[in-house]
Amino acid sequence: MIEIKHLKKSFGAHHVLRDVNLNIEDGKITSILGGSGSGKSTLIKCMMRLLDADGGEIIVRGKDITKVQNPFRLAAVRRHFGYLFQEGALFDSMTVGENVAFGLEYLTDIPKSRYASVVKEKLAMVGLKPEVAKLNPSELSGGMRKRVSLARVLAVSPQCILYDEPTTGLDPIMSDIISDLILEMKKKIGVTSVVITHDMHSAFKISDYIAFLYEGKIMLYGTPEDFRRTDNPYVRQFVDGSSHGPIQMKLMRD
Amino acid sequence: MHWLDQTGGAADMVRSVGFWLVHARFEFKQFVLQSITIGVDSFGVTALTSLFTGMVLALQAGNTINNIFGDPIFVGTIVSFSLIRELGPVLTGVVVAGRAGAAVTAHIGTMAVTEQLDALHTLGTNPTQYLIIPRMGAFLLTMPVLTVFSNIFGVIGGYLVAVYALEVPGEVYLNDITTFMGASDFMHGFIKSFIFAFMVAAVCCYKGISTRGGAEGVGKSTTGAVVTCIVLILVLDYFLTAILTAFGI
Residue B232: the pLDDT is 96
Residue A251: the pLDDT is 54
Residue B123 pLDDT grade (very low, low, confident, very high; cuts 50, 70, 90): very high
Cβ pair A187, A28 in contact under 8 A: no
Which residue on chain B is closest to A154 by alpha carbon?
B123
pLDDT in tens, B20-30: 988 888 999 99
Q: pLDDT tens for chain A, 254 residues: list them.
A: 899 999 999 998 899 999 999 999 999 999 999 988 889 999 999 999 999 999 999 999 889 999 998 888 888 889 999 999 999 999 999 999 999 999 999 999 999 999 999 999 999 999 899 999 999 999 999 889 999 999 999 999 999 999 999 988 888 888 898 899 899 889 988 999 999 998 899 999 999 999 999 999 999 999 999 999 998 998 999 888 888 778 765 555 55
With beta carbons under 8 A apart, name residues in chain A contacting B111.
91
Within 10 angstroms of residue A244's Cβ, the number of other Cβ atoms is 9
Mutate to test the interface with A, among B122, B131, B135 (most CBs of A within 10 A): B122
Helix (H, G, I), strand (E, B) or coil at B143: helix
Residue B45 has pLDDT above 60, yes or no: yes
The bridge status of strand A209-214 relative to strand A29-33 is parallel
Residue B181: the pLDDT is 87
Residue B67: the pLDDT is 83
> Are the beta carbons of A107 and B19 separated by less than 8 Å?
no
Closest CA to B231 of B202, B207, B200, B210: B200
> Does residue A234 lie in a domain region?
no
> Does residue A86 lie in a domain region?
yes
φ/ψ of A92, rounded to 5, equals -75, -5
CATH of the domain at A171: 3.40.50.300
> Does residue A242 lie in a domain region?
no
Handedness of CA B68, B71, B72, B76 (dihedral sign): negative
Report the C-alpha gap between A180 and A177 in whole angstroms. 5
Sheet holding A63-64, edge to edge: A63-64, A55-60, A2-11, A14-24, A217-222, A209-214, A29-33, A192-197, A160-164, A81-84
Residue A252: the pLDDT is 56
Number of domains in chain A: 1
Residue B41: the pLDDT is 80
> Does residue A223 lie in a domain region?
no
Residue B65 has pLDDT above 80, yes or no: yes
> Does residue A7 lie in a domain region?
yes
- What is the average pLDDT across B108-134? 95
Mutate to test the interface with B, among A41, A102, A108, A110 (most CBs of B within 10 A): A102
Side-chain-side CA neighbours of A122 within 13 Å: the count stands at 27
Side-chain-side CA neighbours of B53 within 13 Å: the count stands at 27
> Does residue A69 lie in a domain region?
yes
The DSSP letter of residue B1 is: -
- Mean pLDDT over each residue of chain B, to the nearest integer: 93
Side-chain-side CA neighbours of A215 within 13 Å: the count stands at 9
- What is the average pLDDT across B58-74? 87
- What is the average pLDDT across B191-205? 96
What own/partner pairs with CB < 8 Å and gap ≥ 24 does A225-228 have? A227/A203, A228/A204
> Are the beta carbons of B124 and A89 separated by less than 8 Å?
no
Residue B212: the pLDDT is 93
Report the C-alpha gap between B183 and B173 in whole angstroms. 19
- What is the average pLDDT across B199-219? 95
Mutate to test the interface with A, among B123, B128, B135 (most CBs of A within 10 A): B123
With beta carbons under 8 A apart, name residues in chain A contacting B15.
none
Residue B170 has pLDDT above 60, yes or no: yes
Residue span of the structural domain in which A105 resides: 2-218
With beta carbons under 8 A apart, name residues in chain A contacting B121.
48, 50, 78
Residue B1 has pLDDT above 80, yes or no: no
Report the C-alpha gap between A157 and A181 in whole angstroms. 15
